[in-house]
Amino acid sequence: MYAKECGYIECDDGSLEPGFEKVAIYARGQMQAVKHAAWQLDDGTWSSKLGPLEDINHKTPDNLTSKQYGEPVKFLKRERKSAKTPIP
């Protein structure tokens, strides 16, 4: 799994944990097809890339829940390397 290779482990939720960066995985349907991922910023808000559109920021992972993107079904975290290091 790519997430483990990058140092991510599963965590309970998207709450802000100083020293960690988190990712929310969105899925929809009975087969839980992955549709989207969002990255938690240093201030606890979230950032998403919506296709060819610009990145957007949203207050919580649930703010992006929709038919198109699904709902947050899993959260991953890893130790933050620096405040400016994005997720690969």
Query: How distant, in Å, are the alpha carbons of 18, 62, 69 from that of 36?
Result: 24, 12, 6
Please tell me whether the overall predicted TM-score, pTM, comes out greater than 0.85 for this model: no
CA 58 to chain centre: 11
Instruction: List the chain domain ranges.
Output: 2-79
pLDDT digits (tens, 9 = 90+) for 19-62: 999 999 999 877 778 888 999 999 999 999 887 878 899 999 99
Between 65 and 2, where is the model more confident? 65
**Whole-number pLDDT of residue 58:** 94
Largest distance between two CA atoms of the chain: 37
In the chain, % of residues over pLDDT 90: 57
